[in-house]
Every structure is written in C-alpha cells, then in structure tokens.
Structure 1
C-alpha cells in the first residue's frame, strides 16, 4: 500500500456504525445526567449517615453475634406437634389473607389504571392503595385484635388489607403496560366497557396477576409468623413466648419450621406458575 492510500485511509470518516456508537456515548454523558448522578450520590451518602452504616462496628461485633447465635443450637423439637399445628395455622392465615386481597385488588386495580379510568377517579384510588400499603400488617393486626379479639382471624384481616394495597398497585401497573390493540379491536365491535376489560384486558394481565399473587402468598406466610406477637394467632405466638423466656433452642426449632414451610410453598408456587403462565 502506497503513501497516498495510507493518507486517504487515515483521513477517511468513521463508518456509520462507529459514528452511531460515538453519538450514543455523547448522549450518555451529558451535564444533566452528571447532575442527577451527583444528586443521587449525595442522597446515598446522607441516607447512610442517617442509618448509622458502619462496617467497622459490624466487624467488631461479629464475635458477639456468633456467640449469641450459638445459643440457638441444637434446636429443641420436643414441642414439634405444637409447632406443626401453629405452622399450618400460619399458612392458612397467609392463604386466606392473600385470596381476599386478590379479590378486592382486581376492581381497585382497574379503577387505578390511567388507561382505563379518568384521572379524577384514578388519583383517589391510588391514594387509598398507598395508605393500605404504607401501614404495616402489625398495626392493622392491633386494630383488628380490638375489633374481633385475639386469634388468627385478626391476622387474616390485617394481611388482607395490607396485601390488597400491594396487589392493587402491582395489578394496575400490569394493566397500564398492556397492548392496546386487542382492546381497540374489541371496542370497534361495539362492545361495552366491561366487555373490553373482560375480553381485552384480563387475558393479557392474568399471567402476571397470578405470579404476583403467588409471590404475595409466600410473603404473607412470613408476615403471618410475626403477627402472633400482637396476639393475631399463628406460630408467632410460640415464637414470641420463646423469645421472652430466652428459650433460644425452641426459637431455632420454630425458625426451622418456618424455613421449611416457606421453601415448600416456594417450590409448589414455582411449579404452579410454570403451568399457568
């Protein structure tokens, strides 16, 4: 290759692919993006200070933590029948809390979807869902214990209200992400609004709704295990009593029951999702 051809090659413009990559890099690094990144870093640093994050303290307290955990072993399974019965009660609480929440979340999600309902209706429904999600299940359990007394029914109601807010939000986001084509096709046939939702919206979001509901069921079993602390039934009652009496081997046995039950639920729900989705 002679000197002229080399100069021509060196002076030639980059290929379109290279130019596209360079343009993309220029778009990624902009003053606005740098400003937003700086704001995010400031928020993270401030949040870390407010949370007293300290790796040094964690390392220094590692020995105390190991010594404390050693008190839990070996687990004490002498009351395993009681723990099994309480675990079944806890799973039942999570199941009914999830079922009731899913039933109520469907109409709330439809009313909270901007692509189906007007903004004057969407805004208050979303605020209701925010309130249901923002308040922890334990607080709801305290309220329902006063209303219906001690026992698992109060726990079911607490899980139901909180989970309805969570599922309502997730369901509405799934509705807003649907393909509008099928809905417009059904609307073109002169169908009513209800028929549009039943035949155009529900079939598209049902797989996601099923996945969300199964996940919330698994999460509700974990949450139900804590509600017993306020007298809302389930294995949380035995867990709280064991903690208060410093019977850590019994606490370990209860926790193992919870781990096994959640693992079984996760396995079964995964297989069910594969069949339904």
Structure 2
C-alpha cells in the first residue's frame, strides 16, 4: 500500500532537451546575435554619441520644448478632434471590410480556392505602409481627411482580416456542428455557430486598432491627409518648437483619453 502511494505522488522528472534541440537553439540565437553585431555599422549605431553631444541647436530645441505655447490651443484641439474622427471612420470601414475577408480567409469554413486569393489580398494590404497608401489617395482625391480615412481603412482592413481569420480558425467546432445537425445552411452556421464565439475577440482587436489608428492618423497628416499632423509638420518646418511641444502634449492627452475610453468599452462589452 505504501509503495503504491509513493508511486502515485512521485514527482515526474523534468523534461530534457535533446542535443539536436540544443544545437538548433544555439544556431538560431547565435544567428540573431551575429546579425545584430554585423549590422551595427549598417545602422550607424556607432555614432549614437551624437545624440548626447551638446550643440546650440539641440539646446535651443530642448529649451523650447520645455516651454509649450498654447496660444492656438483651440485650433490644436480642433485638429486633434479631426484626427480622431479620421481614425474612427477608418477603423469602422476597416471592420466592415475585415469581417467578410476574415471569414473568407479562415481555412476551417472556406474552401482553399477562396482562402488562397483572399490571403494574398490581405498580405498586400498589410505590406504596403499606410503612408504610401495615403500618398496614393492624396493624389487621387486631393489633400484632406478623406485621403487619411481611406488609407487607414485599407491598411487596417488587411490587419483585422488576418486577426479575424485566426480567431475563426481557433473556434470550438461543437457549436458549429450543433447548428449543422439541425439542417441549417452555411450562413446559419456562421451566424449562430461562429460569430458568437469570435465576437469578443473581434471587438478587442477593433478597439486596439482604433487606438493605434489614432496615432497613425497623426502621422498621415504629415503628407496632407488631414488632422493635427499637418499643423505639426508646419510648426516643425517653421522651427516653432514651442508650438510643436504644445501639439505633442495635446496628442498625448488625446491618445491617453482614447486608451482609457477603450478600456472602459472593452470591460463593458467583454
């Protein structure tokens, strides 16, 4: 009886890596270290001391940044609000595009002849930077927030479609099979078996992308796609670093508020 009890509570031996696994780890991490060392000159990392070298321009820049000028605060806030609206509409349209693309790219509910081209489209949308897409739309529709909305829509649609499809591929098959057993069609399987399982994750992904797009919309303003980025760019070109400091503070406050609101919405919805 004692032998049986001691056998039942015996602590299993710790897992051991094989020699082949150790060699693979050394090759992978050693390769990463080698690439980092090799690329020091390529990225000019050896001259990082310039960042801390004292010069008049740097001192003037830091001095003005510490003295923000809020004389045009109403305009800064209005432009920041425009930036938020660009991000909001871009994210909303991206979700509308991302849902069908995500479902079509999921291997467990779509045939391979649909999945493959849809994944190519998703890769294309994700691989082209939103700044490049923004420049194309600025050329097509002119300067203004519309170009920013369209750029964020396409880039974010590719990202969300990938995340949505991965969420669909990880669902429990039980509810889908239960709906199928009732004789329901493919659309009913998706509506009643798939969407209830992925809705919380999809909501979380969309909220996160909205937070990210609020920052991306600021950068898009640098190419004339609307929002506070254009004001920031103009202030930088005019060497008005006090205004730059005020704009940065407005952006930080806005992004912080958006992050807080997003967390509240996530807790309420999830």
Within 1, Cα distance between the matches of 2:184 and 2:86? 40
Structure 2 contact 218–227 (Cα < 8 Å) conserved: yes
In 1: Cα distance, 2:91 partner to 2:238 partner: 32
Distance 1:196 1:14, change over 3 A: closer
Corresponding residue number in structure 1 for 2:13 = 21
CA distance in 2, matches of 1:76, 1:63: 27
1:110 paired with 2:103, answer yes
Distance 1:130 1:258, change over 3 A: same
Tell whether 2:194 aligns with 1:205: no
Q: TM-score normalised to the size of structure 2?
A: 0.90
Query: Partners in 2 of 1:252 and 1:32 — Cα distance?
Result: 52
Stretch of structure 1 that moved more, 47-56 or 264-273: 47-56
Match of 1:43 in 2: 32
> Counterpart of 1:61?
51
CA distance in 2, matches of 1:55, 1:40: 21
**How far apart are residue 123 of structure 1 and its match?**
1.5
Matched-pair contact (CA < 8 Å) for 2:40–2:46? no
Match of 2:144 among 132, 151, 170: 151
Mark the CA change 1:167 to 1:38 in structure 2 (over 3 Å): closer, same or farther. same
Identify if the C-alpha distance between structure 1 residues 264 and 114 changes in structure 2 by more than 3 Å, giving closer, same or farther.
same
For structure 1, the 5+ residue unaligned runs are: 1-12
Q: How many residues align?
A: 261
Residues 129, 155 of structure 2: 8 Å contact kept:
yes
* Structure (1 or 2) with the larger CA radius of gyration: 1
| CA distance 1:207–1:64, shift in 2 (3 Å) | farther
Worse overlay, 120-129 or 229-238: 120-129
Looking at structure 2, the residues matched to 75 and 17 of structure 1 have their Cα atoms a distance apart, in angstroms, of 67
Q: Which of residues 187, 190, 208 in structure 2 aligns to 1:194?
A: 187
Runs of 4+ in 1 over 6 A off after TM superposition: 13-16, 53-56
> Could you say if the C-alpha distance between residues 121 and 37 of structure 1 is closer, same or farther in structure 2, counting changes exceeding 3 Å?
farther
Normalising by the residue count of structure 1, what TM-score does the alignment of the two structures yield?
0.87
Do residues 139 (structure 1) and 129 (structure 2) align?
Answer: no
Structure 2 segments unaligned to the other structure (5+ residues): 1-5
Distance, in Å, in 2 between the alignment partners of 1:155 and 1:107 is 23
What is the rounded CA distance, in whole Å, between the counterparts of 2:22 and 2:177 in structure 1? 38
2:21 equivalent among 32, 52, 62: 32
